[in-house]
Structures are given as C-alpha cells and as structure tokens.
Amino acid sequence: MIATAIIDATLRRLMHNGRLSVIYPDGSLKSYGDGEGDEVRLRIRDRRTLRRLLDADRHLGEAYMDGGLLVERGDIRDFMILLMRNVAQADYPAAVRWMDALRRRLARLRVRNTRRRSRRNVAHHYDLDGRLYELFLDPDRQYSCAYFDGPDCGLEEAQLAKKRHLAAKLRIEPGMRILDIGCGWGGLALYLAQVYPDVRVIGITLSTEQLEYARTRAERLGLAGRVDFRLQDYRDISERFDRIVSVGMFEHVGVRHYPAFFGKVRELLTDDGIAVLHSINRSDGPGTTSRWIERYIFPGGYIPAMSEVLPAIERARLIVSDVEILRLHYAETLKCWRERFMRRADRAAAIYDDRFVRMWEFYLAASEAMFRSGLMNNFQIQMVKDQAALPLIRDYMFEEERRLKTIDSRRHIRAVPAARDGEKT
C-alpha cells in the first residue's frame, strides 16, 4: 500500500536513535532506530488511520484520540519523547526547509488576534470546567512553567518559587501600582499583594471563568481592596503602572501583534518602571503552530522565537535589562501535570469523556516532549525605559528572592481557599 511505503520511508529517514516498532494494518511489523533503549511499539489499527497519518502534524493527535493509533509498549509520552528527540536532531533536505519557511509566512498572515477573536480563543481553553484544572494543577492554579529551585522541589513548592523568582525581578516597593497582563486565576497578583505592603495590583484576563474565580479568591483572602481583577484586553488599558508582569499570556498574542503589545507596555510603564515577560519560546528559530494544537488546544496561539521578540522590544524603544532561559523547568512541570492528570483520568472522563482524556493526555505528553528535546524552553525578559531604574549589579534579584523565601517559610502564604461543595469554580 502506498501509504505504508511513505510512512515507512519517512520513519527510516527520521528515526536514527531509540527503538520504535510499528504494526501496520496489514499485520506487518517494522522496526526503526538504532535499537538502543526500551522499545516503543505502535499499532495502526486500520487503513483510514494510516492514510490520515500521512499528515501527521494534523492527524497524529486525532488518531490517538480516536483510538486508531494504539501504544502497545510504553505509552504516548514515551513515543512523543522518542519522536521529538529524533525530530530535534534531523537534518532536513533543502526542499523541506523551503516549504517550512513558506508555511511560516502563510501562518503569520492567517493569525489575526483581534479583540473579539482573542476573547473567543481564550474561552476555548480557559473557560473549560474548572474541575478539570483541579485535577492536575497545584492549589494556586498556576498554569505556566514552574521554577524548580532545588533537587527535592515538588510542584507546589516550584510554583511558589516561580512567583518569588518573578517578584524579585520586578523589584517592588511599597505603594507601587502593578499590572498583571493575563492574570489567570489570580495566583501571582494575590501573592504580590500578600508579600508587599500597600501595593495595588490590577489583574486582567479575557476568561470569564478565571475572572470569577480570581475575584472570589481575593474576597476570601481579604485582598479585594488592593487587588482588582478585570475582564479586559491589554490594548484597552489606559492607566500607568510602576511594574508590569505577564506570565504565559504572550503565547496568545500572535507575531503580527508584537509591535502593539510592546508599544502598549511602554505606554503604560512609568519612566522608571520595570516590566517582566515570561513566555515559552522556540529554541530553533521561528516556526509554525501545530495544526492539531491550533484546532484542539490553543486556537490563535503561537510560540515565538527570541529572534522574533527582541526586535519588537527594540522597536518599541524598551531596553532589555535581563534575560533568563529556563530550559528543562517546563518539562518537569508538564511531567508533574501529566502524572496527576492520569491518576485522575476517570474523574476527567466523568466531566467530559474518554476521547477528551486521550486528547488532554496527548497534549501534555507532546508538550513535555518538545521541552525534553530542546525544541522549546522558557524565557523571562526584564525591560525598562530608563536603564538607571535598576541597581548596577543584579545581586538585588538574589537577595530579594532569599528574603521572600524566608517570608514564605515563616508565614502561611495562602494559595486559594477551596470552593465549598456545590460552589462553581
């Protein structure tokens, strides 16, 4: 069959490391890789699935979701890590690289994250049933890369460490006004209000579910007077702020909107202000969003390369004052999330169904594989308008982080009071 021959030839060119076996619909078993390590064995159940896999970027995840692709030895995480490790090392022909460059250009033209579309895209993912996120996130619902600052650091500790790490880079002082762009369920904004006296924090989101949840948390923690959560697009903010932070939101902006984003940051920032941007980034240069991810997980999303971000910052006349790359921290975060999710997969199936569980499993496994392979990592970029706004040396970050760690260890930094039975989350 032609489809079998094409997939067989593709895997033989791609798989140079590891041990992959595939059982095709006709019952034939073919092996790929150098034979080293534990075997990962796939079964392609029928010819329809086989034909769909010719467009793996779109249909690999669907085949797993629909049960047409089975993992008989190992699991989907093992397969995706093996696959992405080989993809990261592949030397593609010139024609393939040319087609990839063309796809990137076309993808830039296609993505237009207007205010209305941005809100719809956010609702697709973040307005899911809140019980889903309770299955795998920490109690603070930190849905971004954690910061594992020690060998025995668990997920809860790593997410708290991430908030300390960001806070230290913001160099916050009493009485300041802080803007959190894409505040999620409110964890970082509430943390800043807890550890810094007299600050005022504005958190904005496009998710109605996140907004309601964050406001409820602020009320229960007695912080509603100092933390204001709003359903608002960053483009519609008009106030000025001493500090601006954005965590895990930039991936939803879109390349063509980078000038507007950084222009707005500059406009909103006081003359001696500091901004910190935390985002996933591609380590191998500009690319395109997986069509499966675009359809099922993050419509309108795009992971930037540093080479796309820094020029936009420069054109906005912001000064990059510090850059840090978090390499494997997101891989470890996603590993924790996936393990937690799979332990409670029956509860996820009760909320949605088995196909949704396989979709979410594939999403978490594929994402971890991208970070394990080195194709993606995270950056934290600190920006200022005036380079005299910061101390001469960056020791202030480490000193503040140590101070906050002492505070966190001595007092109970309350994450989120659990919702009462029957209460909407």
Give the position of tokens 């390590």.
37
pLDDT value at residue 107: 59
DSSP state of 420: P
How many CA atoms lie less than 13 Å away from 123 in the CB half-sphere?
8
Task: Break the chain into its structural domains and give their ranges.
Answer: 2-89, 115-410
DSSP per-residue codes, 202-228: EEEES-HHHHHHHHHHHHHTT-TTTEE
pLDDT bucket at 201, cuts 50 / 70 / 90: very high
2-89: CATH number:
3.30.1050
pLDDT value at residue 346: 97
pLDDT bucket at 165, cuts 50 / 70 / 90: very high
370 token code pair: 């991208």
- Among 219-223, 307-311, 409-413, which stretch is predicted with the lowest mean pLDDT? 409-413
The mean pLDDT value for 328-344 works out to 98
* pLDDT per residue as tens digits for the range 46-64: 999 999 999 999 999 999 9
Element (H, E) at 326: strand 319-326
The mean pLDDT value for 74-93 works out to 89
pLDDT at 202 over 80: yes
**Average pLDDT taken over every residue of the chain:** 91
What residues does 241 pair with on adjacent strands?
A: 269
The mean pLDDT value for 313-341 works out to 97
DSSP state of 250: G
The mean pLDDT value for 66-80 works out to 97
The mean pLDDT value for 26-34 works out to 96
pLDDT at 168 over 90: yes
pLDDT at 102 over 60: no
The mean pLDDT value for 391-411 works out to 93
pLDDT value at residue 419: 45
What residues does 380 pair with on adjacent strands?
A: 278, 324
- Among 249-253, 268-272, 421-425, which stretch is predicted with the lowest mean pLDDT? 421-425
* pLDDT per residue as tens digits for the range 211-239: 999 999 999 999 999 999 999 999 999 99
Name the pTM for this structure: 0.91
pLDDT value at residue 364: 98
pLDDT bucket at 423, cuts 50 / 70 / 90: very low
Closest CA to 138 of 336, 6, 325, 395: 336
pLDDT bucket at 115, cuts 50 / 70 / 90: confident
Fold classified for 115-410 = Rossmann fold (3.40.50)
pLDDT at 174 over 70: yes
Cα(408)–Cα(99) distance, rounded to whole angstroms? 51
pLDDT at 106 over 80: no
What residues does 205 pair with on adjacent strands?
A: 231
**Residues with Cβ < 8 Å from 353, sequence gap 6 or more?**
none
pLDDT value at residue 73: 97
More confident residue, 92 or 331: 331
pLDDT value at residue 375: 95
pLDDT value at residue 113: 67
The mean pLDDT value for 234-255 works out to 95
Cα(363)–Cα(378) distance, rounded to whole angstroms? 18
Amino acid at site 299: P
Helix and strand element counts for the chain (H, E): 17, 11
Backbone angles phi, psi at 179, to 5 degrees: -110, 125
Percent of the chain with pLDDT over 70: 91
pLDDT value at residue 422: 38
DSSP per-residue codes, 104-158: HHHHHHH----HHHHHHHHHHHHTS-HHHHHTTS-TT---S-----STT--HHHH
Strand, coil or helix: 393: coil
